[in-house]
Amino acid sequence: MFNMVSLYYAIPTKRESDCEMFDLTVELIEVSSEENKRVYKLKIEVLYKNTERNASMSILDIGLPTGYKFNKNDLDALSTGRDRIIDEYEANKELSEKGSLIIYLNKVSHTRPEEISFRIEQSMAVEFLQPAAVSVYEYYDIASEKRCVKFYRPQRKSGELLRLCQSEACLCAEENCSKQRKEKISNDNRLEKACESTESSKIDFVYKVVVVDFFDNYTTDSYNVRILQTFKNGTTDESPLDQYRTFLTYQHCREALDLRPGKTYLIMGTSADIHIVGTSFRYIIGETTWVEYWPTPEECQTDIHRPVCMDLELMEDQLVDFGCIMKK
């Protein structure tokens, strides 16, 4: 057994100097969608922040996702004719192999955004796409590193890297969100999930937890929770009871997950969701993680929460007293 660490991308961080000279927005609009033949319009708006003058010759450096190519007819139309929007573009062999497109702008207005839109088309299917970057800078100011950079990626609202990171360590995980279960759930469904043991999915831990703190780490949401009860736990994290653990998820999953500090939840997941970093345990809240609100004792006295509380108590008794022996 061995550990291997690979540095692929630096963790994105927000800096005060980001986009100091330019405002840049990048929007990807789906035009058509067929299997392995998606077409998007890439809409870029750029504004120079100087209040007194326009930017001189400026460069748009546009990365293209693997498996996508730009529509040459669109770019030709932008760079020719009476109302030409761009001065010229460049996609020579060296650049195109890196999936990059260079657009030269004679000027960038400081009063109204310049809009550059063209189609990008899927030429082959790629299972996991890395985000592509768009950057803008003045041609004569390249050495100052005052680039404004934004990310985009097909089939995703935001293009930032969606690895789950804390400090300098990043973990791989499924991209799809888990969402808090708020529909009516039978106790049979809970027990069936808790005792799930198939080749494709095996539930290794069933916890009652309270969320203590929440941290927003730019690309990752981090929840510090305390394990109140362990109804089931595997061999990866053998003694979690009454301990604090870190649960990680994507920022774009925050609303669907709806975890709130001070509130209690039932969380069930697999050992594949548990990662050991140094002496710490980190749990990934992925697509298959079961997250359900556990009402407070006061809420359990109300008509709206009483049935759920009774079911949760029944589940608790069955798992504590009998485990999963009763389930085939």
* Dihedral angle of Cα 124, 130, 134, 140, to the nearest 10 degrees: -110
- Residues in contact with 17: Cβ distance below 8 Å, sequence separation at least 6, in sequence order: 146
Please state, in angstroms and rounded to a whole number, the distance separating the CA atoms of residues 74 and 120.
10
Domains of the chain: 22-160 (2.60.40.690), 166-322 (2.40.50.120)
* Residue given tokens 């929770």 in the structure block: 225
SS (H, E, C) 131-167: CEEEEEEEHHHHHHCCCEEEEECCCCCCCCCCCEEEC
Q: What is the pLDDT of residue 4?
A: 67
CA distances 167 to 219, 227, 256, 283, Å, are 12, 23, 25, 15
3-state per-residue secondary structure call for 176-188: CCCCCCCCCCCHH
- pLDDT tens for 95-146 read 444 557 889 998 899 999 999 999 999 888 765 566 788 889 888 775 555 7
Compute mean pLDDT per 10 residues along the chain, 328 residues long, and list them: 56 55 91 83 93 89 87 90 81 55 90 93 74 84 70 64 51 61 88 83 90 78 93 85 90 84 94 84 87 94 94 91 68
Listed residue (142, 266, 270) closest to 209, CA to CA: 266
pLDDT at 325: 66
Residues 6+ apart with CB under 8 A from 290: 181, 193, 203, 266, 267, 268, 269
DSSP state of 108: B
Tell me, what's the pLDDT at 156? 57
Q: Which helix (H) or strand (E) holds 70?
A: strand 68-70
**What one-character DSSP code corresponds to residue 239?**
-
